[in-house]
Each structure stands twice: as structure tokens, then as C-alpha cells.
Amino acid sequence: MKPPYKISRKAVRQFLLHRQHLFLPYSSRQGTQERTLDMLKQLECIQIDSVASVTKNQHLVLDARLQQYKPDFLNTLLRQKKTFEYFANAMCVIPMEDFPIFKPIRERLQAQIAPSLKTLQSVSQEILTCLAAEGPLPSRAFKSANKVHGYWDNTHPKTKETSHALNLLFDSGVIQVAKREGSERFFDLTEHCIPKDILDQATEISLSEAQQVLIEKYIRAYRIFSGHTSRFGWLNLKAAERQTLLDDLQHQDKIQTLEIEGIKRQYYIRTEDLEELNAFETTPKKYFSHPIAFLPPLDNLLWSRERIQDFFAFDYKWEIYTPRAKRRYGPYAMPILWKDKFIGRIDATLSKQNQQFTVRLLQIEPHIKITNTLRKHLVHALNTFAQNHGAKTITIEKIEGQELTIKELL
């Protein structure tokens, strides 16, 4: 194996931001449906979440990278069978051509949930018969008075048996999300949602080949990654299995270990990305004058909290599951990215009915100096973000930051 490649943290940060499409001028990235699909392919996948303090995570990810992005761009791509939804970095929207390589995840989940599906066999068959006859339907189309233990139920069964059966059928790959209308998913048979040539590829590809290509996709999504997480490759592998795969990839010269300035944790990079990484070391890129980015809690750049701490010296936690009394920044505090640094957090809500954007907290890290340039960029970012999401007025309830006032930001 080759010795670790030495590199500075600054170069690593700039390389990651470049690969995450957060480094180029925002104004140069106009959002269209075609560019939305291209951005999805560049990012490999985008995490889906139902929480919508402002709007849903998948739309905030794209809004941070594409000017004038519209949620309907992504929803249309799903209806046009150019994307599908499944488990990668949790539930994600994924380019359709990648459907075959998720075979290992589908087969693992099929084995896990087979006993549960068997207990709901009659209900599941009724759902499949209905979908075959009527096409895409939401969960509410299936009536049932029976309650069972769903994925999120604890002591008492609270989930409609038809809803649980839909989840099980989706997880096993028998049905797909055919479209979304607002927060509602419409399900249909997999053979109705996935093009036949893609289904044929999914049948023909071997598990070993699918796993190999899936790992390569994971590595492209992270670009710089560690091997300690069970999420590696999105395959739920044990530590020994992960290490064997990492060793094999190094022997094949597909990945290279990094020795990053001031960081003890072991990180890897694709060997073919080394030249590009080194370019940021030898010639640090200038910072463009573009709006500050508010990144949602499940943004691709934030998938590894340890990586954010190591590379950006920023401690971030999504507090939505933290008891209210123990929250420090708020349930939907989004990291604020400026240049190649995280400078604080913004916890905000949007009232679509009142067209009101409310900032519950705007927090700037104590070591960040508030300059006139930073003030100007904060004002621009707040107004642009609010306007992009249909707000006509902005209210700021609280600010934490030296020499920064509510009045000068409104």
C-alpha cells in the first residue's frame, strides 16, 4: 500500500465544497428541471425527510445549489420515471439508472421483513390487486380498522395495517413511490414505475457486481470518507467486512489514505481525485462573492458530523429529537456556510398562509468577526432565502452575535 497522502485541512474543505457544488457563484447556477436532474446525478442521491420547518430537506438541498429552484422540478422527475426513492443514506431520491445496483439492499430488506409480510399476506395481496387495477394510490385509499405495530410504534400498536403493509411492500421493492402531491406519497407496482430495461438490468446483475458498483457510488457521494461507520457503502456491514473492502480497494489502487493536517482520524479518497485535491493545495481558489448558504440538517455535506467537526471545526447537532428543554439552538437550526467556513446557525420557520419567514434564532459563532461585508451577505442571504420560499415579510426574534442587531438585518 502507498503511504498516506499529506494534505491541509483548507485544501480538503475547498475540495469538498467544490464537489458539493457549494463553491461556484450561486448566480451561475440557474435552476431548471434538467439541471435539477444533473445536480442529483452529481450528488449521487439526496436525502428525503418529512419535516418541513421551511420546506422539506430534499428541496432545501437543491435550493442551496440552484438559483430559482422549484420543488416541482424534483416531483416532475419522479413522475417522469427519471428518479426513484429508496434507502441509501437513509431514504433518498436517486437517479433511475442506479436502480439495479441497489439489489443488495433490496434483498437484505426482503429477508428481514419476510416474516412481517407473511402475517399481513392477505392485506398485502389486496393492496397489490388494487394497485394493479387502479394505478398510483395514496395510503388513505386503503381502509382498515385494524392497528398493528408499525416502524415507529413503541408500546401500543398505532399504525393502520394497510399503511404498515404498504411500507413493507415498498421496503422489499415490490412497490414504488410513483409520485408525490404535497406531503402525500402515491404508490404503484414496481413494474409500473421502473422502465423495463432497468428492471431487466436489475435481474441480470449479480449481487457481487451490484455491491461493488454501489460502494463506488457511495465513495463518489462522500468523496472523502472514513471506514468506521456501518453506513459505509450503505450496506450495513460489520467492522471486519468494511476493513476487508477498504484493504481490497487500496490494493487495487482505487482509494488512497490521507494524512490531513491536525486530524488523527483515518480518511480515504478516490485515487483518481488526488490530482484535483492537490490543485486546491497548490493553488487555493479565490472566494466568490455569492450569497451565504443555509444548509438543511440532512444536507449531503453534513452526512458525517465527525467530518464536519474535523474539517470545519464546527460542532453541529440536529436538535429536532432533543427534548425542548435541552435544545441549545432550536429544532431546525441550519448551519450557515460562508466561504469555506461554518459561521453559525439559523433556526427558522415559514408560514405559507401568511407569507411570513420567521427567524427564531440567528446565531453567529463567537470567534467570527462581524464585518460590513458579512452583514451585507447576511442581509442578502436572508432576503433571497425568504423570497425563494414565497415569503413577503421577515421577522427576526433573536440574534446571538457580537455587534449584530436585528434592525440592521431587516
**What SS3 class is residue 369?**
coil
Query: How many domains does the structure of the chain reveal?
Result: 3
333, three cell numbers: 437550526
Element (H, E) at 147: strand 147-148
Amino acid at 276: E
Domain boundary among 194, 220, 246: 194
Same domain, 90 and 225: yes
Q: How far apart are CA 165 and CA 123, in angstroms?
A: 7
Domain boundary among 179, 194, 209: 194
**pLDDT of amino acid 230:** 86
Same domain, 183 and 204: no
Same domain, 320 and 391: yes
Same domain, 17 and 68: yes
Residue 391 located in a structural domain: yes
Residue ranges for the chain with pLDDT beneath 50:
none
Q: Are 63 and 291 in contact (CB under 8 A)?
A: no
**Contacts of residue 121, Cβ cutoff 8 Å, sequence gap at least 6:** none
Pairing of strands 341-351, 356-364: antiparallel
**pLDDT of amino acid 285:** 67
Residue 187 located in a structural domain: yes
Same domain, 389 and 274: no
Q: For the residues of 163-191, what is the DSSP string, one character each?
A: HHHHHHHHHTTSEEEEEEETTEEEEEEHH
Residue 105 located in a structural domain: no
**pLDDT of amino acid 165:** 96
pLDDT tens profile 353-381 = 999 999 999 999 999 999 998 999 999 99
Phi, psi of 397, rounded to the nearest 5 degrees: -90, -35
Domain boundary among 194, 225, 253: 194
Q: Are 48 and 85 in contact (CB under 8 A)?
A: yes
**pLDDT of amino acid 409:** 86
User: Taking the C-alpha atoms of 284, 289, 294 and 297 in order, what is their torsion angle to the nearest 10 degrees?
Assistant: -10
**pLDDT of amino acid 1:** 78
Whose cell is 481525485? That residue is 273
**pLDDT of amino acid 63:** 94
Residue-range definition of the domain harbouring residue 147: 120-194
Q: Please report, for the domain that includes residue 164, its CATH number.
A: 1.10.10
Q: What is the pTM of this model?
A: 0.95
**Contacts of residue 173, Cβ cutoff 8 Å, sequence gap at least 6:** 86, 106, 109, 110, 190
Whose cell is 381502509? That residue is 143
**pLDDT of amino acid 106:** 97
Residue 137 located in a structural domain: yes
